[in-house]
Structure 1
Amino acid sequence: MPVFSYKAMTGEGSKVSGTLEAESLELAYEKVLNLGYLPSSVKQGGKVKTRTETDAGGLTMLFTKVKAQDVILFTKQLRTMLNAGIPVLQSMQTLLAQIENPRLKAAVEEIAKDITGGQSMYRAFGKHKKIFSPLYCNMLRAGEISGTLIQVLDRLIYIIEHENKVRKDIQSALTYPIIVVVALVAAFVVLIVFVLPNFIKLFKDQGVALPWPTQVCVRLHEIISGYWPIIVPAILGTLFALWYWSKTDRGRLFFDTLLLNLPILGPVFVKAAMSRFGSIFAILQSSGITVLESVDIISGTIGNAAVSKQFEGVRELLEQGRGLAYPLKKAKYFTPMLVTMVAIGEESGQLEEMLKEVAQHYDYEVEYSVAKMSELLGPVLVACLACVVGFFALAVMLPMLDLMSSALAGA
């Protein structure tokens, strides 16, 4: 099949270029339009990169990370092509020529082969969990079951974009505190190991009694300087063990529970979980999926093991015919507002609309909480910094004052 190269404009006004296969120039123009682009030039020629050429022996793919923006762009292009009436398999094969990320390209190529072999999109995408999250795969499953794949992709794009924005906002809010904490730890080690020993030697030579802050610093210096070959490997080993344990089911449950109970960050993650619950449950309800099936899907896509654990009790009560609001009220972490809105939705027969309202409300709450978190962390860090600086100031200044007093008394 002939290969065509094209140059086009996106809906946002940015320029794109690429290659694709088509039987004729007219069909090539049509394919570019189906991608959601406005073609400025399409001509025969060019070369479609193969997987081997793109991967460069696999090294490029090994060190390439699939970012959220890559997945969002791919999903938008897939949604556009499906909305234009192009079959799933043909859409996937066409998109292969447009994907620039080698790791994502390889995954989509395998997915297209699996779909050609008769597998469902849910199972084909589910083989690439490091690229496509459980939420992504289960939403595809919901779309396939209900026949509303395009509507599901619309909602999925919104969820991924919103959560990516929230994630970046949280990272941005935590960047400054992390830098300050690292600087404090570095300053602490430098003062304890290199600076304070000189002052302590001076105080001891002059026979000055050391106050308790200085004695604490002396003890810390002895521990760090005497046992650092043990302390450093122990810290690194502990961090690695905690990281490895966090990948297990019990470890993930422990850390996710801890995360939800943190003083400042905890409420933000609870609201984010409620937003995801409302968004996913609403689209599942609009797709005609039963409440029990929806609970099973959400349990694996809520994004927090502690909240997912609560769905076990929710499912048991649902099977007893207790409705949805009552089980959620008995479960932990589900806010009173969410439970109330669900109860109203069940009584009025407008559960889907109520869940959408909940999702929109908590989307706003998360954004507000992230901004508020940035404001709260500032004073907390200043207080911590003042405590550390004050402690070391006391450790040096108190014996220094005693030394000056002794000198003046001797004069």
Structure 2
Amino acid sequence: MPIYSYEAMDGRGIAVKGEIAAKSSDEAANAVAEQGYTPFKVTEKKAHGSKSGSFFRITQKVKLADLIIFTKQFRSLFKAGVPLVRTFQILEAQTQSRTLRQAISSILQSVKEGAALSAAMSNHGSIFPPLYCSMIEAGEMSGTVPETLERLIYIIEHEGKIKSDIKAALQYPIMVTIALTIAFFVLLTVVIPKFADTFLKAGFELPLPTLIAISLYKFLLNYWHLLIGGIVVLVFGLRAYFKTENGQYMRDSLILRIPVIGELFIKAAMSRFASIFGMLQSSGVPVLSAMKVLSGVIGNRAISREFDRVRDYMGEGQGIAVTLKTAKFFTPMV
């Protein structure tokens, strides 16, 4: 999501500056206005070393372990009764991640200017996802921030474990696929041509699969540059298409249809839904707001659309159990 720099005035007429993550300049201006400021300049901040419209963007991410440590330290200081401003000064001083330290500094400045903690965190969407900010906001409203931080720690650690399990489950199939691809090209470009020359000199008639393999070898030998060019164009084309909403939906739908892998992703998404939805409800987040948050953090565009459909039906007065029964991907247990 793009980052916008803004200049605004608060209710006392004092100029303030800051950064906010938003999809457009209008959305950024509205978000600044919701914080109680009057924006008079909103400009998109360009990433260093990148250009607008480039296929490659330099983005700085915070490691999951750093976010967990930050949340645990924040919880400990908050439970100890340390004032919020002092808490963030301490966190800024001892955080190892440079990106997270800069975000903490920005949050600290926003809090000093009177912004709510959840609003200040939402300005850094690449670090604090909507789920994180929504739960902090619910904790602020209900006065249960320490308990909310406890639940956040559990969710983040649970999410990290699920991602680790998925990577471990996919590691062996990926290694086998790479090995088979390498073996196929070695067989096609080295082994088969040598045996084919030997058989042809001996006057043997080659079988159809061998003839097809020889034809593929000749094609690679004569048109390898076209093949590489086609692959490059295909990669860039798919990369651009997958940045669109329809492209992401198509990609995620295809992933869910892959045997074994698709079922693994669906089970992981349902586990994520159950744990996060339960935590949001325990934190006092309304059901419709919880479904909106889940739609943005579930990690799959196809399942996310189902959440949007469920939320629309619930907004019309239908119960959550009835709508989930008619939705795709949701198991009878859910």
Report the Cα distance in structure 2 between the residues aligned to 1:65 and 1:291, rounded to whole angstroms. 30
Alignment equivalent of 1:150, drawn from 127, 132, 146: 146
What is the aligned counterpart of 2:155 among 159, 165, 174? Answer: 159
- The Cα of 1:145 is off from its aligned counterpart by 3.2
Structure 1 portions without partners, runs of 5+: 1-57, 339-411
Alignment of 1:171-182 (within 5 A): 171-182=167-178
One-letter amino acid matched to 1:184:
L
Q: Give the alignment partner of residue 164 of structure 2, picking from 163, 168, 176.
A: 168
Structure 2 contact 130–297 (Cα < 8 Å) conserved: yes
Q: Counterparts of 1:146 and 1:275 in 2: how far apart (Å)?
A: 26
8 Å Cα contact 1:138-1:301 kept in structure 2? no
Q: Where in structure 1 do 4 or more consecutive aligned residues deviate above 4 Å?
A: 62-65
- Structure 2 vs 1, CA of residues 178 and 109 (structure 1 numbering), >3 Å: closer, same or farther? same
CA deviation after TM superposition for structure 1 residue 332, in Å: 1.3
Aligned pairs for 1:10-409 (under 5 A) are: 65-338=61-334
Structure 2: which 5+ runs fail to align? 1-47, 50-57
Alpha-carbon deviations, 1:282-333, whole Å to 9, x = none? 2222233322222222222222221221123222322232221111112111
Q: Which has more helix, going by share of residues? A: 1
Q: How far has the Cα of 1:259 moved from its partner?
A: 2.2
SS in 1 for 2:110: helix
Do 1:66 and 1:103's aligned partners in 2 also have CA atoms closer than 8 Å? yes
Q: Give the TM-score taking structure 1 as reference length.
A: 0.63
**C-alpha distance 180-132 of structure 1, shift in aligned 2 (>3 A):** same
Distance in structure 2 (CA, Å) of the matches to 1:313 and 1:198 = 59
- Contact (CA 8 Å) 1:115, 1:124: kept in 2 or not? yes
Q: Which residue of 1 is the match for residue 54 of structure 2?
A: none
CA contact (8 A) 2:292 2:308 kept: no
Size of the aligned set, in residue pairs, is 279
The letter for the 1-side match of 2:330 is F
Partners of 2:182 and 2:323 lie apart in 1 by: 49
Alpha-carbon spacing, 1:102–1:174, altered in 2? closer, same or farther (3 Å): same
Residues 1:255 and 1:142: Cα distance change in structure 2 (over 3 Å):
farther
**Residues 15-59 of structure 1, C-alpha deviation per residue, up to 9 Å, x if partnerless?**
xxxxxxxxxxxxxxxxxxxxxxxxxxxxxxxxxxxxxxxxxxx99
What SS does structure 1 have at the residue aligned with 2:125?
A: coil
Larger radius of gyration between Structure 1 and Structure 2: 1
**In 1: Cα distance, 2:188 partner to 2:94 partner:** 56
Secondary structure (helix, strand or coil) at the match of 1:210 reads: coil
Q: Using structure 2 for the length normalisation, give the TM-score.
A: 0.77
Shift of 1:335: 1.2
Q: Do 1:122 and 1:140's aligned partners in 2 also have CA atoms closer than 8 Å?
A: yes
Asked whether the equivalents of residues 325 and 332 of structure 2 are also in contact (C-alpha less than 8 Å), the reply is yes
Q: Distance in 2 between matches of 1:186 and 1:247?
A: 30
Deviation at 1:94, TM superposition (A): 0.9
